[in-house]
Structure 1
Amino acid sequence: MADELELARKKKLEEMQKAQAQEEQVKSTLRTILDEEAYERMMNVKVASPELYMSAAQGCVSIYQRLGRRLGNKEVLMILRRMKGEDKETKITFERK
């Protein structure tokens, strides 16, 4: 019983360490490919929505590979809007009778 519990703890610890190492690698990559303001925005997104953060990070890497230069805040905003589906502007029309 104690051996099983110890194995479960070790497995959980290994999983946590692996996830933390992966997160550090993502952060390091983002720090390299984003300017300071864009990096700060991505860290704020990470706190608010981890799923959006991961998909946007992949999008940032993809665009960086195509452009070959660091991405700014405008590019990150564009990526985030596309990931969230807010690419279209809201349009309000009034119908008068």
Structure 2
Amino acid sequence: MNASKVAYKPVGLALGAVSGAVAGAVFKQVWKALRHEKDAPDATDQDRSWSEVLVAAILQGAIFAGVKAAVDRAGASAVRRLTGTWPG
């Protein structure tokens, strides 16, 4: 394992936790702006339709994936700046 991979391990773990929190906050704000509701529906919400539940889940997944990719990419770029090699 090269130095950049070793350097990226703790960075990647920390960024994973941060990206989850950021993505959750972003999703809440997006849902509130789109639906004017404080909380998105859960899969087991009896009073919500299939379409509401699925749209919320798809949107949440897309936001989480996008935020995670952006944070991972930024972390890898930072490691390259520090070590001179890409953590691949």
| TM bucket normalised to smaller | 0.3 to 0.5
With normalisation by structure 1, the TM-score equals 0.37
Bigger RCO of structures 1 and 2 (CA < 8 A, at least 6 apart): 2
Structure whose CA Rg is larger: 1
With normalisation by structure 2, the TM-score equals 0.41
